[in-house]
A = this chain, B = another copy of it.
Amino acid sequence: RTLNKVLFFPSKVACVEHLLSQNSACSCFCPLPHGVETSFSCLLRHILSASSSLDLCVFSFSNMDLSRAVLLLHSKGVTVRVLSDKHYSAITGSQIGALRKAGVCVRCDAGSVHMHHKFAVVDGRQLITGSLNWTLTAVQSNMENIIITEEAELVQPFIKEFNQIWALNDPA
């Protein structure tokens, strides 16, 4: 059966340290609820499931947990490519600079056109897309939706779109 899943936000707030920490032997003592599955923890799990590649195309990227997830994948040797909006990436709180500093391949769309996409492709097979920007407000405050699908008819066009925008913004 083909994976098809919908997540709605705002997500309940719960600790996701167990997903992001590389030392899973330690228990977390933060004040957030633990052991609770939320829309956000489900989203994180899908992103962290990447074993070979993660292609990410997001207008805004300021969410620290999502940034940690991307850095974790990068440190594990997963090929991460990030496309973001040039104007937004300069804004306070943007994680784009931190990703770049850590060696993640980042390209910013500098066109006059707003890059308003918010999608990710995991291992060239799983599409994560919706209204959700990768910000804390979007995750915790806004009413938002995310579709996670492995339907090839939906995934393939997004892969093509990603590769086109990626090539268009080659800094070389």
The residue in chain B whose Cβ has the minimal distance to the Cβ of A6 is B157
CB pair B141 A161 closer than 8 Å = no
Minimum Cβ distance to chain B for residue A112 (Å): 8
Q: Quick one: which of B116, B145, B151, B157 contacts A161, CB cutoff 8 A?
A: B145
Tell me if B8 and A161 are in contact (CB < 8 A). Answer: yes
Chain B residues whose CB sits within 8 angstroms of the CB of A5 once the complex forms: 153
Residue of B nearest to A112 (CB): B141
Are A143 and B157 in contact, CB atoms less than 8 angstroms apart?
no
Q: Contact at A113–B6, with CB atoms within 8 Å?
A: no
Measured in the bound complex, the distance between the Cα atoms of B10 and A129 in whole Å is 17
**Is A55 positioned at the interface, with any CB of B under 8 Å from its CB?**
no
Please tell me if the beta carbons of A4 and B151 are within 8 angstroms of each other in the complex: yes
Q: Which residue of B has the minimal Cβ distance to A144?
A: B116
Q: Which residues of B contact A6 (CB under 8 A)?
A: 153-154, 157-158
Q: Report Cα–Cα, A161/B146, bound state, in Å.
A: 12
Give complex CA distance A130, B10 in Å: 17
* 8 cross-chain pairs, A with B, having the tightest CB-CB distances, nearest first: A6-B157, A4-B153, A116-B142, A114-B142, A115-B143, A116-B144, A116-B131, A4-B154
In addition to A4-B151, A115-B142, A151-B151, 16 A-B residue pairs with Cβ atoms within 8 Å of each other are A4-B153, A4-B154, A8-B161, A10-B113, A59-B131, A114-B137, A114-B142, A115-B143, A117-B131, A117-B143, A117-B144, A118-B131, A119-B145, A129-B130, A129-B145, A147-B154
